[in-house]
Every structure is written in C-alpha cells, then in structure tokens.
C-alpha cells in the first residue's frame, strides 16, 4: 500500500518563525500536493507539483512556498508564520491523472498551531 | 468562490438508516467525481468515484447518484453503521488535470 508520511503530527510555532513541513511518499508518484483543512472550509489546495522541481499554485498559495528536490519528497514552507496559518496541513500524492488512476493518497496530517 | 458545494455540514443518522450527502458543481469541464472518507486523526481516503457517463454507481452499502443536467451528485449510505461515522468530502476534477476541488465536508455521526 502507498504510504505518505508527514514528519510531524503536531507542531507549535511562534509568529514570524520560518516553518518547514515535510512529506515523503514511497510509491514513486509523479504528483504531490499540499492541502490545508479548516472546519467549514473543507480541503483547500495550497500548491502542487507534477514533477521534480516543478510546482504550481493552488487556490490559496499566499504566504506559502514549496520545494521538490527529489521525487519522493515535497516540502511546504511558511516563510513567516502567522496566526491565520494555524490549521491542519495534509500532504497527498497520486500516480497520474487522466489515465484511470485518479486517486489521491493522503498522509495523516500535521496540526500546526502558530502562537 | 466555492466550485463544489456540499451539504449538509453535519448529519446525525440512526443505525440502520440512510445517510444522504449532496453536492453540486458549476464547472461543466469536471468529468470525474470522487468521494473521500476521513476518520479522526487520519487523512482522507478514496471511498467511491463516478464519471458522468453513468447515473449511478454502487459499491456495497455506498451509492453515488449523478444528475448531469442538474450538475448534482450525491452519496447514499444504506444501512448506516456507527463505523461509518466520519467526515465525507465530495470532490471534482477534470481528465488530465491534477487539481482536485473538494467540498467543505460533511461530518456524519451514526448513533446506535
């Protein structure tokens, strides 16, 4: 089974800190995604990557950046954390879209609190 | 702008009853509609999905009904069980495009 591993389950940071959220997948998937989950807002796409060093903005990229230096690893970076970035962050990966394999595999999430 | 509208946000159903969650979309380019199930402390996992060339898809107790002309689709959980208590997300995407758009989620509680 595909495994998507997020480095931390819970994270507490201070306003203004630079924050790194790490995600690793073990199934050689081309696509990787970062979502944030907030009550009443559902899952919103922050960034995604369809290849190494390639990235595209999602619906809410402001305040975030990403890095994908290796195929299996996708990092989300909060350059200067703010309290409105307190949220559950979910990483996901998928093999391919459009070929009948349209399935996202999610990690268990990182609950980030910015104080 | 919410491209996939989901309702209700929360739902309480008695054991053995039918749970119904509804979704509507605007973008006619959407051609794949998955449902994800999320248990507390876990990430969402694909439950069932449908393409608009069929009006219904059934897998066990879970059925998706799809109305292309109304741009609506719904999830029916027959004989709901306490183990079905979870948050359910409808979603939509387009062939060949990696981005998946999710609804806001429905928190289902099945009570004994």
**Residue A81 belongs to domain with CATH number:** 2.60.40.10
What gap in Å lies between CA A104 and CA B93, rounded to an integer?
Answer: 12
Question: pLDDT tens per residue, chain B (112 residues)?
Answer: 568 999 999 999 999 999 999 999 999 989 889 999 999 999 999 999 998 889 999 999 999 999 999 999 999 999 999 999 999 999 998 876 778 899 999 999 999 9
Partner residues linked to B14 by β-bridges = B111
- Tell me how close the Cα of A79 comes to any Cα of chain B, in angstroms: 24
Q: How many CA atoms lie within 13 A of A78 on its CB side?
A: 27
Contacts of B41 in chain A (CB under 8 A): 108
Q: How many domains does chain A fold into?
A: 1
Q: Which residue of B has its CA nearest to A50?
A: B98
Is there a contact between A108 and B100 if contact means CB atoms under 8 Å apart? no
Q: Give tens-digit pLDDT for A21-76.
A: 999 999 888 899 999 999 989 999 999 998 898 899 999 999 999 999 999 999 99
Question: Which residue is it, tokens 């899952």?
Answer: A43
Q: How many domains does chain B fold into?
A: 1
Which structural domain, as residue segments, surrounds residue A106? 4-114
Which structural domain, as residue segments, surrounds residue B53? 4-111
**Binning pLDDT at 50, 70 and 90, where does residue A100 land?**
low
Contacts of A44 in chain B (CB under 8 A): 102
Q: Which string of DSSP letters, residue by residue, matches B40-75?
A: TTS--EEEEEE-TT-SEEEETTEEEEEETTTTEEEE
Contacts of B98 in chain A (CB under 8 A): 31, 33, 48, 50, 56, 94, 97
Residue A16 burial (CB count, 10 A): 10
Question: Chain B interface residues facing chain A, Cβ-Cβ under 8 Å?
Answer: 6, 9, 32, 34, 36, 41-46, 49, 89, 93, 95-105
């Amino acid at each position: 089974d595909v495994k998507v591993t997020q480095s931390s389950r819970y994270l507490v940071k201070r306003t203004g800190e630079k924050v790194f959220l790490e995600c690793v997948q073990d199934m050689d998937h081309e696509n990787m995604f970062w979502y944030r989950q907030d009550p009443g807002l559902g899952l919103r796409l922050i960034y995604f990557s369809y290849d190494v060093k390639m990235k595209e903005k999602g619906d809410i990229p402001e305040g975030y950046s990403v890095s994908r230096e290796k195929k299996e690893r996708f990092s989300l970076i909060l350059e200067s954390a703010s309290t409105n970035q307190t949220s559950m962050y979910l990483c996901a990966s998928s093999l391919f879209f459009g070929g009948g394999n349209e399935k996202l595999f999610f990690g268990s999430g990182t609950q980030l609190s910015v104080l | 702008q919410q491209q996939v509208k989901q309702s209700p946000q929360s739902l309480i159903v008695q054991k053995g009853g039918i749970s119904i969650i509804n979704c509507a979309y605007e973008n006619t380019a959407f051609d794949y509609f998955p449902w994800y199930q999320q248990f507390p402390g876990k990430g969402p996992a694909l439950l069932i999905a449908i393409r608009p060339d069929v009006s219904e898809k059934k897998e066990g107790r879970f059925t998706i009904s799809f109305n292309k002309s109304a741009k609506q689709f719904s999830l029916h959980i027959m004989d709901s069980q306490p183990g079905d208590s979870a948050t359910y997300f409808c979603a939509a995407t387009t062939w060949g495009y990696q981005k998946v758009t999710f609804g806001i989620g429905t928190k289902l509680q099945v009570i004994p």
